[in-house]
Homo-oligomer: A and B are copies of this chain.
Amino acid sequence: MSDITEATLRHEIAHLARVELLSPKPQETEDFFTKLLGMYVTKREGQSTYLRGYEDPYQWSLKITESAEPGLGHMGLRTTSPEALDRRLDSLRADGNECNWIPDGEELGYGKTFAFKSADGHNIHIMWEADNYVAPPELSSKIVTRKSRKPLQGMPVKRLDHLNLMASDVGGVRDTFERNLGFRTTESVLDGDTQIGAWMSSNILGHEVACMRDMTGGKGRLHHIAFFYGNAQHNIDAAEMFREYDIEIEAGPDTHGITQGQFLYVFEPGGNRIELFGEPGFLHLQPDLETQIWQLSDIDTGLAIGGAKLPWETYFTYGTPSPLPLAEHREKFADFGPGAAPAEEPVSVSS
């Protein structure tokens, strides 16, 4: 298995299959995803609810679990084959990562899975076995690639798209995704020589996993998870819906220069940042395009092609879990800015 070529390594991971989100307000969080974002509930069990968008391929792409603090439970990547699962395990262990098989049946609708932690402490699951979702007749779609009929509730998202990890050590997180999981870094932001952001993919999408520097010095936090509309107007419509239904909008709709993806950032009631993803942006068909670099001097275009401003007091400093609730965080960081020193008491997060 050591003879996997670089070209082959790039296709070991198929895609981001699922995310577990922690919420101190699980019912409000569930309502956000079902009533506003039109997701289907697959099952409620224990402290968790399992959901899927109408084009998500498996039993669930989102698990909401009650927790004292918001944040990422785990992210789950699916390999392209059973052999790839074994090879990824070997590769991660060979580089000294602790990997553990999770108990059979622990995650509804998925099989044999191992877990490890990113360099910054994020929980990552890898699996091959995943039950294909087949809709009951009353939910089946006439469009054969559509796993279930688009619901008539709210503004339904199609599927889970990507997630963004905040990290104290962007380079370390990136290293694992590249070396052990075969992701390529499509775009990167440099502050001089320091890497402060990396967008990574195992297929032709601009990213399924991104990692941005935690400007507060925190470790292993979640920046956001993103759900896919694939359409600019749906982001505009969603912004109006969030405004009308009392969901706080952080920024957007606009288009990032980075990835050329269309963004809309909001905070779900549990405190996690959620992105609605409009057009998917640049597709990396060219197999040998090197990582595209953004210098901080050009970052304005990188952050937003239109006039949107990503607010320093939240976008670059707030992740989940957070030492302070969102409103207090915003107040505390209101006077900081791109050039300001971070808080004297380092804003760190216990894992």
By a beta-carbon cutoff of 8 Å, the part of chain A in contact with chain B is: 5-8, 10-11, 14-15, 35-36, 55, 57-58, 78-81, 83-84, 132, 141-146, 149-150, 152-154, 159, 186-187, 203-206, 230-234, 236, 239-241, 243-245, 249-255, 257, 259-260, 264-265, 279-283, 285-289, 292-294, 298, 301-302, 305-309
Bound form: Cα–Cα A5–B3 in Å:
13
Query: CB-CB < 8 A to A287: which residues of B?
Result: 14-15, 78-81
Shortest Cβ gap from A282 to chain B (Å): 4
Given known A143-B260, A154-B152, contact A233–B230 (CB-CB < 8 A): no
Given known A306-B236, A306-B264, A307-B265, contact A285–B144 (CB-CB < 8 A): no
Bound form: Cα–Cα A5–B10 in Å:
15
Q: Looking at A288, A289, A305, which has the most chain B CB atoms within 10 Å of its CB?
A: A305
A145 contact from B36, B186, B253, B307, Cβ within 8 A: B186
Given known A132-B289, A306-B253, contact A279–B142 (CB-CB < 8 A): no
Bound form: Cα–Cα A307–B265 in Å:
8
When the two chains form their complex, are residues B204 and A204 in contact, meaning their CB atoms are under 8 A apart? yes
Bound form: Cα–Cα A298–B143 in Å:
9
Q: Looking at A307, A308, A309, which has the most chain B CB atoms within 10 Å of its CB?
A: A307
Bound form: Cα–Cα A232–B234 in Å:
11
- Chain B residue, CB-CB nearest to A262: B236
Query: CB-CB < 8 A to A6: which residues of B?
Result: 81
Q: Looking at A58, A80, A280, which has the most chain B CB atoms within 10 Å of its CB?
A: A80
When the two chains form their complex, are residues A36 and B152 in contact, meaning their CB atoms are under 8 A apart? yes
A239 contact from B240, B282, B307, Cβ within 8 A: B307
Bound form: Cα–Cα A298–B231 in Å:
26
- Chain B residue, CB-CB nearest to A38: B152
Query: CB-CB < 8 A to A293: which residues of B?
Result: 144
Query: CB-CB < 8 A to A205: which residues of B?
Result: 204, 283
- Chain B residue, CB-CB nearest to A7: B81
- Chain B residue, CB-CB nearest to A284: B145
Query: CB-CB < 8 A to A81: which residues of B?
Result: 5-7, 287
Bound form: Cα–Cα A281–B158 in Å:
11
A243 contact from B36, B132, B233, B305, Cβ within 8 A: B305
21 A/B residue pairs, CB under 8 Å, sorted by A: A6-B81, A7-B83, A8-B11, A10-B11, A15-B285, A35-B152, A36-B152, A80-B287, A142-B243, A142-B298, A144-B294, A144-B298, A146-B260, A146-B282, A149-B245, A152-B154, A232-B233, A236-B306, A264-B306, A307-B308, A309-B309
